């Protein structure tokens, strides 16, 4: 069976909700770049999955909408909202179009480990730009492209020393992990660092920060070989005026 995010949604929700150190680390890496108090702020959580980050944003006082193209993921997110309401809203939508989200309607877009799943990054960043108010923020994480490239794996780095074998970094495009226990069996769009930077700049975003946080103690306890390797790459960017001849024509 060829897996998709929808077919692995039950597995993913169970994994996240039973306390996955890696997913909680990923959430905290992203939340670290947002204000502790989000009262009065409107937020879109793009690729929200079962709602791990969406709920945390709502807990900080934000008015949050989570979107995801997987109906089953959104079903899990809505079920969590019903059993423990925090005010988060959810919609089935594609990050490449954001058809359910009004133009200029949010101050923040967050995207935790989801922009590495969209098939067309330029379309997604165009859509993000459209829904953001002027000077709105985009904060997102992706699996670190240097260490999570196609065919990256754990192996012998030489002399019997186990470590990360870097995959084919320059092979941009869709690839699927053969690991039956990994989320990337549903597939992943690999892109280089320069592609992420270029798309942001070409769509009128100013990159305010990047981060490659060292894995936390819980992550290393679960996966000791991860010590010294950042699992995620974070970008924090601000929507600026429309670059000439491109984008949406709005300031």
Ligand X SMILES: C[S@@+](CC[C@H](N)C(=O)[O-])C[C@H]1O[C@@H](n2cnc3c(N)ncnc32)[C@H](O)[C@@H]1O
For CA atoms 38, 118, 187, 210, the dihedral sign is negative
Q: Which of 155, 26, 146, 13 is nearest to 76 (CA)?
A: 13
By CB under 6 A, the count of residues binding ligand X is: 24
**What are the Cα distances from residue 91, in Å, to 6, 20, 180, 202, 244?**
14, 25, 28, 28, 33
Q: Does 128 bind ligand X (CB under 6 A)?
A: no
| Span of 107-115, 130-138, 161-169, 231-239 interacting with ligand X by CB under 6 A | 107-115
* Min separation Cβ 41 and ligand X, Å: 18
Quick one: which of 29, 43, 55, 69 contacts ligand X (CB under 6 A)?
69
Nearer to ligand X, 44 or 237 (CB): 44
- Interaction of residue 47 with ligand X, rule CB under 6 A: yes
Residue selected from 22, 31, 48, 64 as contacting ligand X according to rule CB under 6 A: 48
Cβ contact 191:208 at 8 Å:
no
User: Which residue shows structure tokens 């989000």?
Assistant: 38
Q: In whole angstroms, how close is the CB of 26 to ligand X at the nearest point?
A: 6
**Which single residue is written with the structure tokens 């992706």?**
142
Q: Between 113 and 132, whose beta carbon lies closer to ligand X? A: 113
Q: CB–CB of 140/245 below 8 Å?
A: no
Query: Looking at 54-131, which runs of residues are DSSP E strands?
Result: 63-68, 89-92, 106-112
Residue whose C-alpha is closest to residue 95's, from 77, 114, 76: 114
Judged by CB under 6 A, does residue 106 bind ligand X?
A: no
Residue list 155-184, contact with ligand X (CB under 6 A): 183
Q: Tell me if 96 contacts ligand X by CB under 6 A.
A: yes
Neighbours of 44 (CB within 10 A): 30
**Beta bridge mates, 108:** 43, 137
CB of 158 to ligand X, least distance (A): 32
Out of 22, 46, 56, 65, name the contact with ligand X by CB under 6 A.
46
The residue within the footprint of ligand X, chosen from 94, 106, 107, 129 (CB under 6 A), is 94
Name the residues that contact ligand X, by CB under 6 A: 5, 16, 23, 26-27, 46-49, 52-53, 68-70, 73, 94-96, 112-114, 117-118, 183
């Amino acid at each position: 069976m060829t897996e998709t995010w929808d077919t692995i949604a039950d597995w993913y929700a169970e994994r996240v909700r039973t306390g996955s150190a890696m997913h909680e680390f990923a959430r905290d890496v992203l939340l670290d770049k947002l204000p502790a108090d989000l009262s009065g702020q409107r937020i879109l959580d793009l690729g929200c999955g079962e709602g791990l980050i969406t709920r945390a944003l709502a807990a900080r006082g934000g008015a949050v909408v989570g979107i995801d193209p997987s109906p089953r993921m959104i079903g899990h997110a809505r079920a969590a909202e019903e059993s423990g309401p925090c005010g988060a809203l959810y919609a089935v939508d594609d990050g490449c179009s954001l058809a359910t989200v009004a133009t200029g309607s949010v101050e923040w877009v967050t995207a935790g480990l989801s922009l590495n799943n969209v098939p067309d990054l330029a379309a997604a960043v165009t859509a993000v730009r459209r829904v953001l108010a002027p000077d709105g923020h985009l904060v997102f994480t992706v699996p670190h492209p240097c260490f999570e490239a196609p065919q990256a794996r754990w192996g012998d780095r030489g002399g019997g020393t186990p470590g990360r074998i870097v995959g084919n970094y320059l092979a941009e495009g869709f690839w699927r992990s053969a690991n039956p226990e990994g989320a990337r069996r549903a597939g992943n769009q690999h892109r280089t660092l320069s592609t992420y930077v270029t798309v942001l700049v070409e769509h009128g975003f100013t990159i305010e920060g990047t981060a490659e946080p060292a894995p936390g103690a819980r992550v290393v306890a679960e996966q000791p070989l991860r010590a010294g390797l950042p699992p995620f790459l974070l970008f924090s960017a601000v929507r600026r005026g429309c670059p000439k001849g491109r984008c949406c024509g709005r300031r």
